[in-house]
Amino acid sequence: MSKGRVILSNERFQLTIERLCHQLIEKYDQFEDTCIIGIQPRGVHFSNRLYARLTQILKIKKLDYGKLDITFFRDDFRQRDKPLTAYTTDLNFLVENKKVILVDDVLYTGRTIQSAMNALNHYGRPDQVELLALVDRRFNRHLPVQADYVGMTIDSLDEAFVKVEWEETDGEDKILLFPRKLEKH
């Protein structure tokens, strides 16, 4: 596997999370009638960080937070040679009449977000849904999806691949850019 180029290192990674938290606080204040939902699997690493930091900054104990599995809502679910890994959905509340902040690590084609919106419908009808993405690959959209909050934007028209690494799973927080799509082993 070729070596990726670091485009966001640990220190700037932490600053980006901090900035996004403050943007959310500016809009949602104490998060009344608002919830944060991380998209399984990689969006959950990001949403865990956001949730922890927001509750720390705001000194609040009650902030609705959930994790959403979209496996069976994907448009390519039945078109794969290998079965997809299903994750758990952990939503102990309904989204009915709530403002929902959907969280994912990389916004690429928009298909993951479409699947998340379909899955979210099973938990009620939200008042509003906004998207927060750590990385926006804005020139690679297949669907008309855009993030409301973005950590960083990468304008790459080619087959470059963005990988977010997390301290919990990869040993360090950083974002890498690879010249072409990674082969899965």
Q: At a CB cut-off of 8 Å and minimum separation 6, what does 66 contact? A: 35, 36, 37, 38, 89, 90, 91, 92, 93
Determine the pLDDT at residue 140. 81
pTM summary value: 0.90
Whether residue 35 contacts residue 99, with contact meaning beta carbons closer than 8 Å, is answered with yes
Determine the pLDDT at residue 1. 44
Low-confidence ranges of the chain (pLDDT < 50): 1, 185
Determine the pLDDT at residue 84. 66
Determine the pLDDT at residue 141. 87
CATH 3.40.50.2300 for the 13-158+167-178 domain, yes or no: no
Sorted by where each begins, the domain ranges of the chain are: 13-158+167-178
